[in-house]
Every structure is written in structure tokens, then in C-alpha cells.
Amino acid sequence: MDRPADASRILESTDIGSQKDRVVTEEEWLQKWEMGNTGFHKEQGHPLLQKYLDVLLSGRSGLRIFFPLCGKAVEMKWLADMGHTVVGVEVSEQALKEFFSEHSLPYCEEPVPEISGAKKLQSTSGNISLYCCSIYDLSSSIVGKFDGVWDRGALVAVNPCDRQRYVSLMITLMEKNSSYLLVTVSYDPNKHKGPPFYVPESEIKSLFRDCCEIKCLQKVDDFSEKHRQWGLDYFLEVLYILKFVA
């Protein structure tokens, strides 16, 4: 297998290739959950969140933490068990119900009056609230503002044409002095159409630099047989911390 000796040294391209016109519909995401085509879900949680949790929390307790496009991320229960309040949003009701079922968490459902057809699934303990709707239907008047965000699999799943819209929304949901842990992926976008989509560092800076400090914390070689089958010869996960300054 021809792979770079040190994938972490690969220079990132600013060209996202043909991906800029790629659109994945809501129906396609729902079908992935229905068919069990959810290789993006990590059963044991994400090691980068475990490693850099202190960077996200900054010594604070009782935070409100947002999980955009949350799926059934196990880290939601992990953080709730630490005493934080977790809010997520996901279009797949199946994913949300599987989250509660797999963790044996009782919950109740209620409509969201401001969003037609939306539901909120909330743990009976009240510390996990998951909205079943499009993320673009949310606003701070509905979900409040957040002290922290764990964005793994969200920005890289958003259609490239919608990135500015997504980031503009996320900025409105952030408290001053909040922290945003962001995981992107790096690979040759001319060899794979996505998702997950390639988001170059230059674009992260362009999207967020007006409102926060941005630092790349780590690049991890995450190449696997799946990526080889996609036609790739390298695949990195790239972790950033974004600090929303007062």
C-alpha cells in the first residue's frame, strides 16, 4: 500500500475540487440510518474528545454543550453524566431513539411549537434534549446559547454550498468566552466525492476568523481499509479549538 511515510506532514490543499457542487439531501441521510450505513458513528466515543476535554471545558462545570448533527453520539451521555446539559439536533428520529434505547435512558417527546413537524426528545432527568429537525430551523430563541460545542461529523457533513449558512447559525448560538472543538477531515478531494467533505484550514479561518481565535490542536492519521476502497492514499482527522472571545 503506497502511503506517505508521515501523513501528518501532508500539505493541505485549498482546492476542494468537484466537491463544491456536491449536494447530499436530507432523504439520503435518513436512508443511511434506515439502512444501517452509519460507519461515521463511533461506538466507543471519540478519542480526540476524551484527550482534549479539558480544553473544551476550561475548568468550568455545569456547561451547556451543543452537538450539531448529533446522530446517536455516545459522548452526549458521557458529558451529561459529568453534570453538563447537552442539546443535540438531528434529522433522523431513528438515530435519536436509538441513542435513548441503547443507553437505557427514559425520555419524553413533545412538539416544538416554533418549528412545524419538529420534535424534542428529552431525557426524563432533563439534562439531554435532542431536537429532531433540520439544524437550519433552530435559533437561539428556541435552544438558547451554548458554552461549548463538540462538532465531529457536522461541518464535514454539511453540503459545501451551505457552509457559510451553517457557520453563521453556529456563531449566533455561542456564548461569549465559549469553546468549540471542531474535527475536520483532510484527504485528496479529487479522489472522493464525500461526505465526509474535505474542509481545508484556509476555509476554517475564512469562516470563523472574524469572531474567534482558531488553533489547530492535532492531526491524526485515521487511514483505514474503507478509505483505501474510496480510492484514497491518506486520510487525516484535524482537530481545532475555536475560542469565542468576549
Handedness of CA 42, 122, 32, 168 (dihedral sign): negative
- Chain position carrying cell 475540487: 17
Q: What would you measure as the largest C-alpha separation in the chain, in angstroms?
A: 54
- Which positions make up the binding site for S-adenosyl-L-methionine? 29-40, 69, 90, 134-135, 152
Helix (H) or strand (E) holding 31: helix 26-35
Element (H, E) at 204: helix 201-208
- The series of mean pLDDT values per 10 residues for the chain, 246 residues long, is 48 72 92 81 85 97 98 97 98 97 98 98 98 98 98 96 97 97 96 95 95 97 96 97 89
Angle CA(72)–CA(75)–CA(79) in degrees, nearest 5? 130
The region, left, alpha or beta by phi > 0 then psi within -120 to 50, assigned to residue 62 is left
Note the pTM of the prediction, 2 decimals.
Answer: 0.93
Cβ atoms within 10 Å of 195's Cβ, excluding its own: 20
Binding-site residues sit at 29-40, 69, 90, 134-135, 152
* Amino acid 43: pLDDT: 76
The domains found in the chain, sorted by start residue, are: 26-33+50-244 (3.40.50.150)
